[in-house]
Amino acid sequence: MSSDLPAPASFLRAAEDELLELSIETSRADWVHATYINDDTQSLAAKANARLIATTVRLAKQSMTLRTESLGPEDQRKAKLLRLSLSLVAPSDPKEGEELTRIVAEMQGAYAKGRHVPRGTSEPVDLQALSRILSESRDPVALEDAWTGWHQVGRSMRAPFVRYVELANRGARELGFADTGAMWRSKYDLEPEAFAAEVERLWQQVRPLYQSLHAYARMRLRVTYGPDRIPEKGPIPAQFLGNMWAQSWEGTYPLLAPPESDPGVDLTKILVSRGTSPTELVRYGERFFTSLGLDPLPPSFWERSMLVRPRDREVICHASAWDLDFVDDLRIKMCIEITEEDFHTVHHELGHNFYQRAYSRQPFFFRESAHDGFHEAVGDTASLSVTPEYLARIGLLDTVPDASRDIGLLLHRALEKVAFLPFGLVVDRWRWDVFAGRIAPADYNRTWWEMRQQYQGIRPPAPRGEAEFDPGAKYHVPANVPYMRYFLAHILQFQFHRALARTIGHTGPLHRASIYGSKEAGARLRTMLEMGAHQEWPDALEAVTGERRMDAQGLLDYFAPLQRWLDQQLRDAPKGW
């Protein structure tokens, strides 16, 4: 390190070196814990995370004393990102810091070990099996049993979660934030309240489309399940929407599909009939990104990733992408099933990996996306290019269906993308209020369901008391993973897609555009990926879209044909709840 650097710059260089080393150590411990869950790996991961958090907090607090006016713009941004680099800040007391990381590890472990014996069976099954019941069964009793059975997983987390909130807030305040929620919102190059207002603005843009989709789903589900179970007006019971959290509704598509439309491509059937292996499923995703001019994944990816559920141990199956050395030790962790859903998930997770490698040449503090919504949006932008034309080009379809009957395709995608939007908002809106003390522990479950009814228009199968902790039934809550990134990604992916479709000169319906094989689209994307967090997110957004403000118009343009069709179907049907 050069001796003539001013002290603040020297501090930042040393901090980057120290944090890189600890981050690699923690990533390896977390990987082992996630792929081999037992008390030992849980303890090792908790201790590694405690060291990383303690060191980051120490350095972040020291950075607050720097005379940043002596720093150049790049180092000033590094100092800011250092202070904002954690989603969980442990208090300075070592015992409390260790307690906080242990609580999070234990809640994650409880989630991973969650099981339920479905009604009429004798063997306990995991979340994946229970989720299949919700998406495939049409038996109202079985649906309610599977939903209620999984949501029991939150009960044991309730007391630890209260303590987690207390300790996390204590750490955030030591860094100068009002609470952990305010710290999370500060990561978006805006003041916390300004960011909350920006999120609400985006929601109001898409709310009318969601209300139309909700009204149509309620009307059609009422035909299947009857007026005793599905109301003509009011919220929809959550167990009937095909997903454990009612966050996406694709499982209801067979019940909602318009009879006059093409049912769409049964990609699951095609993949299974071809004997597609989990590895080959991932190869499809890799070939999408290499077609844009990006380099193939390194050989170590194929040697070290976990693509299937092991038979001999507990693992966390929740799909995730990893970069263990922050250069090119890229991996994904999935329990792949040969389905259309996992085909899309693979494209999404590899989007993280290709983003991680693209910014790996940046200084350590900038080896991150412009904001976390960008990271999630990149892979989903790739998924939007999984069109019939794309499937034909890669040999999975012999002929391309005519676009004139695409309402079924659009409805299916809306049940995934549009249905998600209010849930993507609620998970963090609820936590923001919890962290801020606006929601007391005694009201956790009541306020969770009030907020879900307000935004999503859903309700639980039966009244849920405060002995339950239903937020804990969603992985990101016990795992301390901020969720707003997913809401923002669902806006940004369509903004990216519309801009890249223009780049390739696409003139047809936006939902039929695919950037597969376009080096020009790949070059624009690469420019943004390589920036990492070096510049504020409006600069990264502009690199791809030419725009500097997040905007939901791309999503509305994509689903415009569906919105017109829904308006026709709902002429005499009530909207809202």
Cα-only R_g, the chain: 23
Residue 86 has pLDDT above 90, yes or no: no
Task: Summarize pLDDT for 91-110 with one digit per residue, the tens.
Answer: 989 899 889 989 998 999 99
Q: Which of 18, 96, 225, 476 is catalytic?
A: 476
Q: What is the pTM for the complete model shown?
A: 0.90
Catalytic status, residue 490: no
How many helices (H) does the chain have, and how many strands (E)? 24, 4
Predicted local confidence at residue 64, as pLDDT: 84
Q: Give the active site residue among 33, 348, 371, 506.
A: 348
Judge whether residue 518 has pLDDT over 70: yes
Angle at 512 between CA 507 and CA 518, to 5 degrees: 75
From the candidates 110, 129, 178, 319, which is the catalytic residue? 319
70 pLDDT band (50/70/90 cuts)? confident
Mean pLDDT of the chain: 94
Query: What's the rounded Cα separation, in Å, for the pair 280 and 303?
Result: 14
How distant, in Å, are the alpha carbons of 136, 296, 501, 562 from that of 414?
Answer: 19, 32, 19, 9
Which residues does 295 contact at the CB level (< 8 Å), separation at least 6? Answer: 357
Token output for 225: 């399940």
The answer to whether 318 is a known catalytic residue is yes
Asked whether the beta carbons of 506 and 389 are under 8 A apart, the reply is no
Report the distance separating Cα 208 and Cα 459, nearest Å. 20
Q: How far apart are CA 319 and CA 35, in angstroms?
A: 11
Strands 236-237 and 458-459: parallel
Joined together, the tokens standing for residue 35 give 């792929």
Where does the pLDDT of residue 262 fall: very low under 50, low under 70, confident under 90, or very high at 90 and above?
Answer: low
* Matching residue, tokens 């495939």: 136
**Residues 129/215, Cβ–Cβ less than 8 Å:** no
- Decide if 348 is catalytic: yes
Per residue in 318-376, pLDDT (tens digit) is 899 999 999 999 999 999 999 988 999 999 999 999 999 999 999 999 999 999 999 98
C-alpha–C-alpha distance, residues 154 and 120, integer Å = 23
Label residue 263 by pLDDT band (50, 70, 90): low
Three-state DSSP at 520 gives helix
296 residue type, one letter:
P
Instruction: Select which of 111, 475, 486, 558 is catalytic.
Output: 486
Could you confirm whether 347 is annotated as catalytic?
Answer: no
Let me know if 375 is a catalytic residue.
Answer: no
Q: Please pick, among 225, 318, 337, 520, the residue that the annotation labels catalytic.
A: 318
Phi-psi sector, 480: left (phi>0), alpha (psi -120 to 50), beta:
left
pLDDT of 146-181, one tens digit each?
Answer: 999 999 999 999 999 999 999 999 999 998 999 999
The Cα-based distances of 193 to 190, 198, 407 in angstroms read 8, 9, 39
